[in-house]
Structure 1
Amino acid sequence: MTEIPTFPLPPLHGDPTPYDAGDYRRLRAEGPVVRLPIATGGPDVWLVTQYAEVRKLLSDPAHFSNAVQGPNGRLGDRSDESLKGFVIGNPLMYDPPEHTRLRRLLTGQFTVARMRHLRPRIEQIVTEHLDAMEAAGPSADLVEAFSLPVPSLVICELLGVPYADREDFQRRSNRLLDMTLDREAHAANTAEMNAYMYGLIARERAEPGQELLGLLVREHGDDLTDDELLGIGNTLLVAGHETTANMLSLGTLLLLHRPDQAAVIRDEPDAVTPAVEELLRYLTVAHRAGPPRHVTEDITLGGRQLRAGDLVIPSLLSANRDEAFVKEPDELDVTRDAAGHMAFGHGVHHCLGAPLARLEMQVAFPALLRRFPGLKLAVPYESLRFRLQSTVYGVESLPVTW
């Protein structure tokens, strides 16, 4: 039997992906569901690695539960302060029907039509940051100058964060997923973030604006508690900021290694949409769809018998590299049809912000490559530091020149 590595797996040298593709090929060859020890300790989990079985799991919340439960089986039975901000109001932490209620309230804010309305402002934010880079150049840290601030400003626009507050807002969000911080530092950062968001919610309660929190208060204020609005705001911050920021950085790094494919995105407007889907598939910066699932009753998945109470992790990144999904999955091909990838999850918990993330990348990648056609790394690849201790994979900094 193949020796099973611990989770998470290390990056593949010379390629900005958060695991060794060979390790995942071996795991998939063993079967679609494998028993895996967690690197940080705790109980073993079932890791689901093959595309078809990941889809099946994510389509079945009745047997594979996301819910954080209290002593009587419901999230609401707990009053722990730790639930506030990232559990209560977070659709990823609920099963239907509670999840269905929250999702229904939010879906209208992320329609394709609403995203088209945001496009001019996104284009303006991208242009302003490219102008600033060019004026300060001919070198920059792409993470600091472009990849982080662009989606941060977009999500601030969406939520209704006042302009004067955005620098502190971004600082707190950057610390949110940093797994190198100790428990006390995380707790302090979370408390600071929650206090700010509660203040923003109070202002929107008093005088609802036209941004997302204001619209939710105006249209559904009697149906949503402040704790739920807090969880919604913080969830959208993570989903709409961290993931897109890391995709912009890692995607650019990947394209610098593939100049022929970068040229496709730069020079062929009709090729941008499928190219973004392939980058999403190939990188899959969010390794899994939310927390580990709890098995609610004994069930067979991928030929393995799972027992009630077992923990299951659907590996989105392995599913997206499954040979049964795409041919030559470990090769980047921005011209391929990668529709059906699971970088945004699948099923009832498919990422609400996917249309916004897609739009930001469709604007940002070609604009960056057209502005700086000679863009290249300013340091040796080997000196880059990747965010291995974060729930969203990325790179700490990306020095570039042009």
Structure 2
Amino acid sequence: MTETLPGVPAFPMTRGRCPFDPPPELARIQHDEPVTRVELWDGSTPWVVTRYDDVRALLADPRFSADSDLPGYPHVTEGRAARSGVTKSFITMDGAAHAAQRRLLTPDFMVKKMEALRPKIQGIVDGLIDEMLAGPKPADLVQAFALPLPSLVICELLGVPYADRALFHRISKTLISRTSTAAESLAATKELLDYFGELTERKLTEPGDDVLSKLAAEQLATGRMTRHEIAGMGQVLLVAGHETTANMIALGTVALLENPSQLAEMRAAGERGDAKLLANAVEELLRYLNIAHSGRRRVALEDVEVGGQLIRRGEGVIAANDMANRDDSAFPDADVLDIHRKARHHVAFGYGVHQCLGQPLARVELQVAYGTLYHRIPTLALAKPLGELRFKDDMAVYGVHELPVTW
């Protein structure tokens, strides 16, 4: 544990009155001292980097490591720190090791392959909306639509039985909770690793056209990867593949319902099949909302200057992508949601070699979800006032716990 420095603000910080904006204190830091120290849950005091250009430079710099096993790495939570030595995936690897594992998965998430899934995703979206319209009102949009859509898709891609969704939804909540203890997080990790290990073994004798079957045949059967390594990869893909998109669908819907003129434009774009505007709106919503609100975590491998501040070897760094996406120098009037803004250069998916592998899939899912939901249900409305919604300040992935809607 690092000795606490006087006057260092706690991180993460408390949000203000607008649930879509980053914390006001973080905005102040960006303006007054864009590279400064913050205090984490364990008393450590890494640096937080808040300006767009500095965040991109940091994430592209190989002198900053993503290896969560290194001393000084700024772990998000106690649970995440405890899991670090138990499972390792390409997300927390550097250099050749990272590139080799990522290369195994890149063909499965290429833009063309994800675009080919669009008709299937459209069918899932339409089916979920049909079920919701036929059910009672109000409905919880999270459970009825936002969560099952990416869960169905990622299960099919990975080769995970959707019938097991209750298990991995439960485990995911523990893994991304800021309040999970080390013991709870380790138990959840073990349960999911055991599940994936058994499933991967089964793929050797019962293969399908999916990622786990390919890894079992090409890596496990040949001894290139162990069952544990493949299970760790599967765990990361499954949790990230449904939690992020599910929260983005729900939170994006809340933001649009609070901006009725832009919601009307989205509805009209869906009706006329305006793919260009829908794609543009997805990028702006990703920029504006930043559900990955814990920052990208790194540790310095040598002394490096960032934004005029010297960061010493072994010191932890948090690239605050939520604040970088609200930097007026990169996005004029950055605190305003504008679905016509050219926002594709945002850092919601990170930047550099570690940027999100699944971003082509997320884009297609979000375009289809937003492009269909609002014109299929033109009178969609919140069934509770905004102030009564429970936002996920207690989770590493931001969103709403439930979203009661009516029509």
* Native 8 Å contact 2:82 2:182 kept in 1: no
Instruction: Report the Cα distance in structure 2 between the residues aligned to 1:15 and 1:177, rounded to whole angstroms.
Output: 19
Aligned AA (2:285):
L
Is structure 2 residue 291 aligned with structure 1 residue 285? yes
Measure how far apart 1:126 and its partner are: 1.1
* Native 8 Å contact 1:15 1:254 kept in 2: no
* 1:76 alignment partner in structure 2: none
1:172-191 pair list within 5 angstroms: 172-191=171-190
* Native 8 Å contact 2:82 2:186 kept in 1: no
**Alignment partner of 2:195: what SS?**
helix
Instruction: Report the Cα distance in structure 1 between the residues aligned to 2:20 and 2:292, rounded to whole angstroms.
Output: 14
Aligned AA (2:248):
M
* 2:37 alignment partner in structure 1: 35
**Alignment partner of 1:131: what SS?**
helix
Q: Which runs of 5+ in 2 are unaligned?
A: 1-6, 72-80
1:138-177 pair list within 5 angstroms: 138-177=137-176
- The verdict on how the C-alpha distance between 1:91 and 1:312 changes in structure 2, with shifts beyond 3 A counting, is same
Aligned AA (2:197):
Y
**Alignment partner of 2:318: what SS?**
strand
Is structure 2 residue 70 aligned with structure 1 residue 66? no
Measure how far apart 1:109 and its partner are: 0.8
Measure how far apart 1:81 and its partner are: 9.4
Instruction: Report the Cα distance in structure 2 between the residues aligned to 1:204 and 1:83, rounded to whole angstroms.
Output: 27
* Native 8 Å contact 1:266 1:370 kept in 2: yes
* Native 8 Å contact 1:45 1:313 kept in 2: yes
* 2:58 alignment partner in structure 1: 57
Deviations 1:269-325 (A, max 9, x none): 2310000000000011102454x2111111211111111111100000010001111
* Native 8 Å contact 1:84 1:227 kept in 2: no
**TM-score, scaled relative to structure 2:** 0.89
Deviations 1:328-368 (A, max 9, x none): 00000001100110000000001000000111000001211
**Alignment partner of 1:305: what SS?**
strand
Q: Which moved more, 1:217-226 or 1:108-117?
A: 217-226
Instruction: Report the Cα distance in structure 2 between the residues aligned to 1:172 and 1:318, rounded to whole angstroms.
Output: 29
Deviations 1:165-197 (A, max 9, x none): 233333322332122333333333222212111
* 1:328 alignment partner in structure 2: 333
- The verdict on how the C-alpha distance between 1:14 and 1:296 changes in structure 2, with shifts beyond 3 A counting, is closer
Instruction: Report the Cα distance in structure 2 between the residues aligned to 1:37 and 1:180, rounded to whole angstroms.
Output: 17
* 1:74 alignment partner in structure 2: none
Is structure 2 residue 375 aligned with structure 1 residue 370? yes
Measure how far apart 1:84 and its partner are: 7.0
- The verdict on how the C-alpha distance between 1:16 and 1:28 changes in structure 2, with shifts beyond 3 A counting, is closer
* Native 8 Å contact 1:287 1:316 kept in 2: yes
Instruction: Report the Cα distance in structure 1 between the residues aligned to 2:42 and 2:136, rounded to whole angstroms.
Output: 45
* Native 8 Å contact 1:51 1:319 kept in 2: yes
Measure how far apart 1:390 and its partner are: 1.1
Instruction: Report the Cα distance in structure 1 between the residues aligned to 2:123 and 2:174, rounded to whole angstroms.
Output: 27
**Alignment partner of 1:97: what SS?**
helix
**Alignment partner of 1:99: what SS?**
helix
Measure how far apart 1:83 and its partner are: 4.8
**Alignment partner of 1:386: what SS?**
coil
1:253-292 pair list within 5 angstroms: 253-268=254-269, 269=274, 270-288=276-294, 290=296, 292=297
Instruction: Report the Cα distance in structure 1 between the residues aligned to 2:346 and 2:8, rounded to whole angstroms.
Output: 25
Instruction: Report the Cα distance in structure 2 between the residues aligned to 1:367 and 1:84, rounded to whole angstroms.
Output: 43
* 2:10 alignment partner in structure 1: 6
* Native 8 Å contact 1:54 1:316 kept in 2: yes
Instruction: Report the Cα distance in structure 1 between the residues aligned to 2:309 and 2:70, rounded to whole angstroms.
Output: 28
* 1:308 alignment partner in structure 2: 313
Instruction: Report the Cα distance in structure 2 between the residues aligned to 1:267 and 1:82, rounded to whole angstroms.
Output: 46
Aligned AA (1:317):
D
Q: 1:355 aligns with which of 337, 347, 360?
A: 360
**Fraction of identical pairs, as percent:** 45
Aligned AA (2:58):
L
**Alignment partner of 1:164: what SS?**
helix
Give me the CA root mean square deviation: 2.0
- The verdict on how the C-alpha distance between 1:84 and 1:229 changes in structure 2, with shifts beyond 3 A counting, is farther
Aligned AA (2:375):
R
Deviations 1:57-114 (A, max 9, x none): 00012x111113379xxxxxxxx994577x42x1111000110111111111111111
* Native 8 Å contact 1:295 1:307 kept in 2: yes
Instruction: Report the Cα distance in structure 2 between the residues aligned to 1:262 and 1:44, rounded to whole angstroms.
Output: 41
Q: 2:391 aligns with which of 364, 386, 391?
A: 386
Aligned AA (1:294):
V
Q: Which moved more, 1:238-247 or 1:342-351?
A: 238-247
* Native 8 Å contact 1:205 1:214 kept in 2: yes
* 1:106 alignment partner in structure 2: 105
* 1:345 alignment partner in structure 2: 350
Measure how far apart 1:55 and its partner are: 0.5
**Alignment partner of 2:57: what SS?**
helix
Instruction: Report the Cα distance in structure 2 between the residues aligned to 1:5 and 1:397, rounded to whole angstroms.
Output: 30
Instruction: Report the Cα distance in structure 2 between the residues aligned to 1:300 and 1:81, rounded to whole angstroms.
Output: 30
- The verdict on how the C-alpha distance between 1:189 and 1:25 changes in structure 2, with shifts beyond 3 A counting, is closer
Measure how far apart 1:4 and its partner are: 6.2
